Amino acid sequence: MSPEAEGLEAAYGAAKALHGVSLHVDPGEIVAVIGANSAGKTKRPRAIRGLLCPSPGRIRLDGPEIAGWPPERIVALGVIQIPRRCQRFASMSVKDNLRLGAHLRLRQGERKAVKEDLEQVYALFPWLKERRRQTARTLSGGEPRMLAIGRAGMASPCIPLLDELSPGLAPLLVRERFRIIAGLRQQGLTLLPVDQNARQALRAADRAYAIETGRIVGEELAAALPEEPAIQAAYLGGIPQRFAASHPSEVAAYARPARSAASGDAAVGQHGHSRDHASR
């Protein structure tokens, strides 16, 4: 299943959140979206999920346009968002929280398949099985996020939209989250992770988009994006290898922050390709 967005414009009230954003994700790809807080990263998955209605703009899923569809109809297609806040039903058991992810499938009579998927979630997160009878409010640290990923998996998603898996977690737990992303791809899923941790996100992804103030300021193969001077300066805390021996004034001329490009000095192509290469 392949999502594609074209020319998305969206707002929260009078505040513009997206400015002409276009992206595409091919089947089986991991495509990361990186950017700082309030850059507009989360707005795109929310728009795809139907929680934020783009106007204007188009969102297609394997061809048919789904912009304006109600969220429950989009979820039924297998587009599942794993939110940053990892909401849980605190008074319910861990097991019941997981089963809630499969409520549409249970209504359709898929009880055997749901039971099998529950065992797969337990295999991925053994400690969830150990605590399956505990109430979800007893979970702490990175555990609620793992519960959220497991619950999304119970929906048998085709496209998990992963929103900010790393903030507030220890480095070891962050690496574990991205290891899980790689494992999900091996199951044939198409993934769109959104994260502030640019370095880890780029390691896990095939391609990536950089977004700043609601505009795409770069699109590239994930292995190549760290070599972009603006990306290196804005998100990775350094300069590309090819500029390592350059004079500081030369580096400064090349390594302009991505936010400068977002403010208007970069022309963005049809799918968000930055055209700001003239100075290189």
Domain spans of the chain? 1-78+158-225+260-280, 89-157
Tally helices (H) and strands (E) across the chain: 12, 9
Residue 47 pLDDT more than 60? yes
- The phi and psi torsions of 79 (rounded to 5 degrees) equal -95, 110
Ranges of beta strands (E only) in 71-124 are 79-82
- For residue range 123-177, what is the model confidence (pLDDT) as tens digits? 888 889 999 999 999 998 778 888 988 898 898 888 888 877 666 666 777 777 7
Q: Tokens for 123?
A: 């295999």
Higher pLDDT, 63 or 134: 134
Q: pLDDT, tens digit, for every residue of 162-213?
A: 877 666 666 777 777 777 777 777 777 888 888 777 888 888 889 988 888 8
Q: Give domain 1-78+158-225+260-280's CATH superfamily.
A: P-loop containing nucleotide triphosphate hydrolases (3.40.50.300)
Average model confidence (pLDDT) across the chain: 75
Question: What is the structure's pLDDT at 252?
Answer: 46
Q: Which helix (H) or strand (E) holds 95?
A: helix 94-100
Distance CA 269, CA 279 (A): 18
Q: Pick from 162, 275, 191, 211: which is nearest to 22 by CA? A: 211
- Mean pLDDT for 42-47 is 60
Nearest Cα neighbor of 55 from 18, 30, 84, 87 is 18
User: Is residue 43 predicted with pLDDT exceeding 60?
Assistant: no
